[in-house]
C-alpha cells in the first residue's frame, strides 16, 4: 500500500488524514493536531463550521514542520454557498488558519434541503472554487457528501472537474455507488467517520478480525478503507490512539476478512443523509 494517493492533477495527498470534527478550538485542537503531526500524520482536515481553524493553524506553526510538507484541507459551509460568498469564506478561513494557500478546498454539503435549486447553487459555488484554483490559492478542489446524482450535474458543467469527494464511509455504509461513480471519473473518495461514530466496537465480526491479526478494531477498519483505495480520515484526542490509528501500513487483510466485513453493509448511516439534511 502506497502511503500517498495522487489526484487527477498530479497533486499527492497522504494516504491517511487526521480529522478535527468536534474538537474545540484552542488548546484541545492544538494539542490533538500537534500529537498527530508528531506521530507522522501529514494531512489535516478541518472546516469553517468546525470553528477550530485558528487552533489548527496554530498547531501547524508550532509543529515546526515546513508548510509544504503538510496537506491542509478546509471546507465552505452551506451558509456561504454562492460565488462571492464562497470567495469571502475562503479568505476568512485562510486568515484563521494563517496560511498562504490551501491544499484542498471542499464544498461541505450539496445542501439539497437548503436551496430550492441546489444544482444551480452548487455550480455557482463551484465557479468560485475554480477561480481560487486558477489563482493558485488552492492546490485542489472537491466536494463533500455528494452522491452520484449530486455529482452528475456539477461534473457536466464544471470546467475544472472535482478531484475529491469526502463522504460518510465505513463498514456499515460502504458507499459502493459513490466508489463506482468516482472511480470511473478518477475522483478520490475520502472517508469521514470510518469508525461509525464509535459503533465499530459494537460488532463482534470486527473484534474477531482484529484478534486474528493482533490489531485494534480501528486499525482493522482503517486498513479496510485503505484497501478499498479510499483515503480515510481518523480522529482522536488521545495520543496513544492517534499513534495506533496511524500504524496501518504494515499488514493486510485477507479476502475472507473483506467478505465478513461485507455482512455489516446493511447497518447504514450514522450521520446525515445528504438528501435529507436541512442545514
Q: Which of 64, 61, 138 is nearest to 100 (CA)?
A: 138
Residues involved in catalysis: 50
pLDDT, position 115: 85
Q: Are strands 43-45 and 141-144 parallel, antiparallel or unpaired?
A: unpaired
Mean pLDDT of 65-94: 98
Nearest-angstrom CA–CA distance, 119 and 48? 22
Q: Any idea which residue has 452548487 for its cell?
A: 122
Give the three-state DSSP class for 232. strand
Nearest-angstrom CA–CA distance, 44 and 94? 14
Q: Does residue 2 register a pLDDT over 70?
A: no
Mean pLDDT of 226-232: 98
Give the three-state DSSP class for 104. strand
Please give the model's pTM, rounded to 2 decimal places: 0.97
In sequence order, the β-bridge partners of residue 188 are 164
pLDDT tens, 239-272? 999 999 999 999 999 999 999 999 999 999 999 9
Where along the chain do its domains lie? 4-262
pLDDT tens, 35-56? 999 999 999 999 999 999 999 9
Q: Identify the DSSP state of 188.
A: E
Give the three-state DSSP class for 135. coil
Q: Does residue 278 register a pLDDT over 70?
A: yes
Q: Which of 170, 171, 192 is nearest to 45 (CA)?
A: 192
Q: Which of 241, 247, 221, 244 is nearest to 32 (CA)?
A: 241
pLDDT, position 1: 52
pLDDT tens, 113-138? 888 899 999 999 999 999 999 999 99
Average pLDDT, the chain: 97
Nearest-angstrom CA–CA distance, 275 and 51? 24
H or E element that contains 43: strand 43-45
Supply 31's cell numbers. 494539542
Q: Which of 175, 182, 174, 90 is nearest to 129 (CA)?
A: 90
Q: What's the CATH superfamily of 4-262?
A: NADP-dependent oxidoreductase domain (3.20.20.100)
pLDDT, position 116: 84
Task: Categorize the per-residue pLDDT at 59 as very low, low, confident or very high, splitting at 50, 70 and 90.
Answer: very high
User: Which of 179-187's residues contact partners 24+ apart within 8 Å by CB, and which partners?
Assistant: 179/228, 179/230, 181/148, 181/151, 182/151, 183/229, 185/151, 185/155, 185/161, 186/8, 187/8, 187/142, 187/151, 187/161, 187/162, 187/163
pLDDT, position 113: 85
Q: Does residue 215 register a pLDDT over 70?
A: yes
Amino acid at each position: 500500500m502506497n502511503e500517498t494517493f495522487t489526484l487527477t492533477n498530479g497533486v499527492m495527498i497522504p494516504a491517511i488524514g487526521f480529522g478535527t470534527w468536534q474538537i474545540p478550538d484552542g488548546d484541545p485542537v492544538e494539542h490533538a493536531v500537534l500529537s498527530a503531526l508528531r506521530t507522522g500524520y501529514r494531512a489535516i482536515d478541518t472546516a469553517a463550521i468546525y470553528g477550530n481553524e485558528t487552533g489548527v493553524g496554530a498547531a501547524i506553526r508550532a509543529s515546526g514542520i515546513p508548510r509544504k510538507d503538510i496537506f491542509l484541507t478546509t471546507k465552505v459551509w452551506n451558509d456561504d454557498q454562492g460565488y462571492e460568498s464562497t470567495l469571502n469564506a475562503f479568505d476568512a478561513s485562510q486568515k484563521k488558519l494563517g496560511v498562504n494557500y490551501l491544499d484542498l478546498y471542499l464544498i461541505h454539503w450539496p445542501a439539497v434541503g437548503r436551496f430550492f435549486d441546489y444544482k444551480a447553487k452548487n455550480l455557482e459555488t463551484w465557479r468560485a472554487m475554480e477561480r481560487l484554483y486558477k489563482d493558485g490559492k488552492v492546490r485542489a478542489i472537491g466536494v463533500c457528501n455528494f452522491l452520484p446524482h449530486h455529482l452528475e450535474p456539477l461534473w457536466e458543467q464544471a470546467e475544472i472537474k472535482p478531484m475529491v469527494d469526502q463522504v460518510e464511509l465505513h463498514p456499515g455504509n460502504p458507499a459502493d455507488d459513490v466508489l463506482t461513480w468516482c472511480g470511473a471519473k478518477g475522483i478520490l473518495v475520502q472517508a469521514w467517520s470510518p469508525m461509525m461514530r464509535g459503533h465499530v466496537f459494537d460488532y463482534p465480526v470486527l473484534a474477531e478480525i482484529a484478534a486474528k491479526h493482533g490489531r485494534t478494531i480501528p486499525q482493522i477498519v482503517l486498513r479496510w478503507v485503505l484497501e478499498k483505495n479510499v483515503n480515510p480520515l481518523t480522529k482522536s484526542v488521545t495520543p496513544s490512539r492517534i499513534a495506533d490509528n496511524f500504524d496501518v501500513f504494515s499488514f493486510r487483510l485477507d479476502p475472507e476478512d473483506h467478505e465478513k466485513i461485507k455482512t455489516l453493509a446493511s447497518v447504514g448511516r450514522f450521520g446525515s443523509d445528504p438528501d435529507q439534511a436541512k442545514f
